[in-house]
């Protein structure tokens, strides 16, 4: 009888690489309506992250916080070990570094705060 090989042992998250994105207790509200509450998140180098959820559940808000387009009401955000919670978008991504990062939305209007759902 042939023996099947053992299944691979999952890599621990520590073995995957340095933490490149870290959120701790991130909270964001609009007009008193909570959108994100106490978000804790770590993304390590080499990981792929998918953010899924229904309409109005905070996906675009989280991404706007991560790129510095908005600031959280509470909590902290770090990129590559640097605290970015209250830094301006221009300071985070000077022209020399903009080509190194990007965000792609399924719908280009996702970052327009002026658009609302009736």
30 domain residue, yes or no: yes
32 domain residue, yes or no: yes
Residue 116 Rama label (left phi>0; alpha psi -120 to 50; beta): beta
108 domain residue, yes or no: no
CATH number at residue 63: 3.40.50.300
pTM for the whole structure: 0.67
> For every one of its 118 residues, what pLDDT tens digit does the chain have, with 9 covering 90 and above?
556 666 555 555 445 689 989 999 999 999 999 999 999 999 998 888 888 888 888 998 998 898 888 899 999 999 888 888 888 766 766 666 666 666 666 666 655 655 555 5
Structural domain span for residue 61: 16-89
Query: What is the residue-wise DSSP string for 35-104?
Result: EEEEEEEEEETT--------TTSSHHHHHHHHTTSS--SEEEEEETTEE-TT--HHHHS-HHHHTT----
79 domain residue, yes or no: yes
């Amino acid at each position: 009888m042939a023996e099947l090989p053992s299944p691979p042992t999952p890599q621990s998250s520590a073995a995957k690489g340095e933490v490149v994105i870290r959120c701790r207790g991130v909270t964001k509200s609009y007009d008193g309506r909570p959108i994100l509450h106490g978000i804790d998140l770590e993304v390590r180098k080499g990981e792929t992250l998918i953010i899924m959820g229904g309409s109005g559940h905070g996906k675009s808000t989280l991404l706007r916080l991560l790129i510095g387009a908005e600031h959280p009401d509470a909590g902290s955000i770090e990129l590559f070990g640097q605290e970015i919670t209250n830094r301006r978008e221009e300071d985070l991504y000077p022209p020399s570094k903009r080509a190194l990062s990007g965000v792609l939305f399924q719908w280009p209007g996702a970052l327009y705060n002026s658009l609302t759902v009736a």
